[in-house]
Amino acid sequence: MKKTLLASAALAALMITTGAQAAEKTKFDFWFGLSGDLEKRVQEVCARFNASQNDYEVVCTSQGNYDAALQNTIAAFRAGKQPTVVQVYDVGTATMMLSDAFVPAYELMEKNGYKIDWKDYIGGIAGYYASSKGQMFSFPFNSSTPLLYWNKTAFEKIGKTAAPKTWEEAHADAEALKKAGYECPIAINVSQNESWQLLEQFSAIHGEPVASKNNGYDGLDAELVFNKTKFVKYIKDLKAWYDAGLVKIKSKDQGQDMVQAFAAGDCQMIMTSVGDHGTVGRTAKEDLSWDVAMLPVYEGTERKNSLVGGASLWTLKGKSPAEYKAAAAFLAFVAEPESALFWSTVTGYVPVTESGFAYMKSHGFYDKAPYKGREVAIASLTATPPTPLTRGLRLGGFTQIRAEVGNGLQEIFSGKSDVQTAIDGMVTRGNAILRRFEATYKGKTLP
Amino acid sequence: MEKRATFGHWWIGIAFAIPQIILIFTFFYWPAGQAVYWSMTLQQPWGGGNIWVGLDNFRQILTDPLYWNSVVRSFVFALFSTLLAMGIGLVLAVFVDRELAGSKVYRVVMIWPYGIAAPALALAFRFMLAPEAGLLAFVNRLWPGLWDPGLDGTDAMIAVIVAFSWKYVGYNFVFFLSALQGIPKSLTEAAALDGAGWIRRLRDIQLPMLTPTVFFLLVIDITESFQDSFGIVDIMTSGGPARATELMVYKIYFDGFRGLDYSGAAAQSIILMILIVALTVLQFRFIERRVHYK
């Protein structure tokens, strides 16, 4: 409290002394979708930028959530009142790329005289926001990837000191934990967007496609194919383990979601974003000894890099050169290693560049609790250089496809239909969404 | 002698009506017309252009068996939530009308739920109805697995119906109470003198005199249950599990605002609009006959 007071007093003093120049500052808008604690963190980034120089001022406004940020920006854009910079979540990337409403990141920086080393961006992150030719269209901002969170105390009881590396091992561990009296060896959730961990990330690290045409990167006529990949076996296994009591479903609807269940020590393994690392650390019950590891793969699989989740920063068309100059300065500021250290310290997100990661390592960020373990996320994102199937997903209507996957998973785990039928259903209905998207953008191609 | 107020010029009347017409035009006819146009095109969300597809959007929606499931579910939702909200509202209004202890307080308090925003209400109900931690957790302690709106579709539907009805009980209550108090006391008093008990008076005097209110509330409740339910569904169940609570209006919201499929959502809202208009016409045609206005 005192600190923030001091900081704001300092800021106020700064504003008074720079009052003369303040009139000439170029102001621009930045809309974002984070709320609650993360909203404050973004505002801190904005305040740091505004305090760092005298030429530009960013006005940051939270729109409440990712969906609202995108909808409100679209409405504003159609009315010609769009912000200069907007945060768009990962699944909105395909829509953005076809929108014809943005200035590509590489073009913006080039025109305003910034030399960004695009190769510095961590492969698994860059691929998601780059065109098929490899040019970056937006700046990765808050980035995460899923990890396996495991309870060390429980694993000690079954004589293990490391997390399972394969699903075969995880299965054996779950059975041992069950025998040792643990009610909920593995917790999953199927109520929201868990397609992210269960389908998208699983497929990436196993090198399996989610859709044809290299997951949609090579054309809008891509079709979903995950009803014929290892994903089917994976869900069959999860369902069998669920029936055997090794896997429990933990969702908000039931009163305790999986992160809470893990932090309370009720469940021993969960798969969730590195972004939850801080939450688990803060809310874990006192004697909980836990760690994170990369998601398991099936035996005989060569592990590939996992995909980035989160959101990126897009610059929109229709603004003045002065505003673009200001936006470029802001984006360059956000990309600095010092900003990465600040951002990753106050949130659970990972640095997006190699240099940011190196800078954080050299500052000892990963050496001690509560940040120790988060380097596993970078290891997961960089497990291999991105392959055509692990750059990301470039599929239209992906919010709806995720909902179809969620519905299918709910059918499976409530016993309403068998695994293959339900997954075939997800694919059929998902393909209808893709065809609709393709028809909407008839004659356009992905950049 | 002519006593009617007359206007010297033909345009004065129109001039008085214009503000209203402009309002209705801007906030109803224009957006509705826009929705009809959008429903026959494929709109790019960012305004990059659109493609005329005629009735393709409607064909696609109406040939989807899952869409018809959501229509059926919407009717189930409308039926039960209307019954529940009106039934409880009426019972409470009768109690207050009979000036039972505390009725003055209830008269003021009962309308409050109607003023609560749907997401806040849904959040509260989600906590209360959570099977592991909520108020209903004791049910699961007695019969494990009996109540699980997270995976059981029927339970989830019950949960959203209860939450929605709770909001509308107060609304119905206010109308019922004012109607009950509008019934001349002389009628009920005369019946009481003739030895009719309160149930008898309710059945033979008050209920028949309430029919205009019942009819009004029926139309309003059914219409609202088709339109006003998406906030509750969104927070409580997101349409799940496995589409069990995917009502028509929630699908519109999800496809349009989250999925950015503006054309599909526009077509669905046209279908919903036609359905509500048809329902209201039906109600006026068949139920209103049984309403006694005097």
Q: Is B45 on the interface with A (CB under 8 A)?
A: yes
Q: For chain B, what percentages of helix, strand and coil (3-state, to nearest 5) are there?
A: 75, 0, 25
The rounded mean pLDDT for chain B is: 88
Tell me what pLDDT residue B141 has: 78
Complex prediction ipTM: 0.83
* Cβ of residue B52 closer than 8 Å to a chain A Cβ: no
Q: How confident is the model at residue A19, as a pLDDT? A: 46
Amino acid letter for position B70: S
Q: Which two tokens stand for residue A30?
A: 């930045």
State the pLDDT at residue B290: 76
**B32: closest CA of chain A, how far (Å):** 18
Closest to A61 in 3D by CA, of A79, A73, A43: A43
Q: Do A70 and B260 touch (CB under 8 A)?
A: yes
**B258 close contact with A: CB closer than 8 A:** yes
Flag whether pLDDT at B4 surpasses 70.
no
**Residue A127 forms contact with B (CB below 8 Å):** no
Both tokens assigned to B224: 């609202």
Cα–Cα distance for residue pair A132/A128, rounded to 1 Å:
10
CATH number of this structure's domain A146-306+396-440, picked from the four choices 3.20.20.80, 3.40.190.10, 2.102.10.10, 3.30.9.30: 3.40.190.10
Provide the residue range defining the domain that includes B200.
65-290
Number of domains in chain B: 1
Which residue, A288, A260, A265, is CA-closest to A185? A265
Q: What's chain B's length in residues?
A: 294
What pLDDT does residue B132 have? 76
Instruction: Write phi, then psi, for A299 (nearest 5 degrees).
Output: -55, 145
| CA end-to-end span of chain B | 32
A436 touches B: beta carbon within 8 Å: yes
Helix (H) or strand (E) holding A427: helix A419-440
Contact between B46 and A413 using a beta-carbon 8 Å cutoff: no
Residue of B nearest to A415 (CA): B151
Q: Are A390 and A380 in contact (CB under 8 A)?
A: no
Question: What parts of chain A have a pLDDT lower than 70?
Answer: 1-23
CB proximity B59 to A under 8 Å: no
How many Cβ contacts (< 8 angstroms) between chains A and B?
114
pLDDT digits (tens, 9 = 90+) for B46-105: 887 888 998 989 999 999 988 999 999 999 999 999 999 999 999 999 888 887 777 788
Q: Taking CB atoms and an 8 Å cutoff, what residues of chain B touch A191?
A: 150, 238, 240-241
> Which of A254, A409, A418 to mutate: most B Cβ within 10 Å?
A254
Task: With respect to residue B104, please indicate whether it lies within any of the assigned structural domains.
Answer: yes
Contact A77 B46 (CB under 8 A): yes
Amino acid at B222: I
Domain positions in chain A: 25-144+308-381, 146-306+396-440
Closest Cβ opposite residue B150 in set A251, A399, A408: A251
Give the Cα separation of B233 and A223 in Å (integer): 31
**Interface membership of A35 toward B (CB under 8 Å):** no
Q: Is the pLDDT of residue B263 over 60?
A: yes
Give CA separation, A132 vs A70, A174, A437, in Å: 23, 41, 19
**pLDDT at position A268:** 95
Task: Tell whether B132 is covered by a domain.
Answer: yes
Give the gap in angstroms from C-alpha A287 to the nearest C-alpha of chain B. Answer: 23
Interface of A with B in 49-88 (CB under 8 A): 67, 70-71, 74, 77-78
DSSP state of A342: H
Residue B128 has pLDDT above 90, yes or no: no
| B41 at A interface, C-beta within 8 A | no
Report the CATH fold assignment for A25-144+308-381. D-Maltodextrin-Binding Protein; domain 2 (3.40.190)
CB A176 within 8 A of CB A411: no
On the question of pLDDT at B112 being above 90, the answer is no
Within a domain: B271: yes
B249 confidence band (pLDDT: 50, 70, 90): very high
Which residues in chain A have Cβ-Cβ distances shorter than 8 Å to B46? 74, 77-78, 95, 99-101
* B13 domain residue, yes or no: no
Whether B42 sits inside 8 A of A436 (CB atoms) is yes
Give the list of residues 6+ apart from residue A340 with CB closer than 8 angstroms, or none: A351, A352, A353, A356, A357, A359, A360
Q: Report the percentage of chain B scoring pLDDT > 90.
A: 42
- Residue A270 pairs in a beta bridge with A149, A187
User: Is residue B196 assigned to a domain?
Assistant: yes
Q: A25-144+308-381 and A146-306+396-440 share one CATH topology?
A: yes
Q: Residue B273 domain-assigned?
A: yes
CB-based contact A414:B153 (threshold 8 Å)? yes
CB proximity B140 to A under 8 Å: no
CA geometry: angle B155, A420, A402, nearest 5 deg:
60
A146 shares contact with chain B (CB less than 8 Å): no
CATH, residue B220: 1.10.3720.10
- A86 CB contacts (<8 Å, ≥6 apart)? A30, A31, A32, A69, A70, A73, A313, A314, A316
The reply to whether B37 falls in a domain is: no
Residue B144 falls inside a structural domain: yes
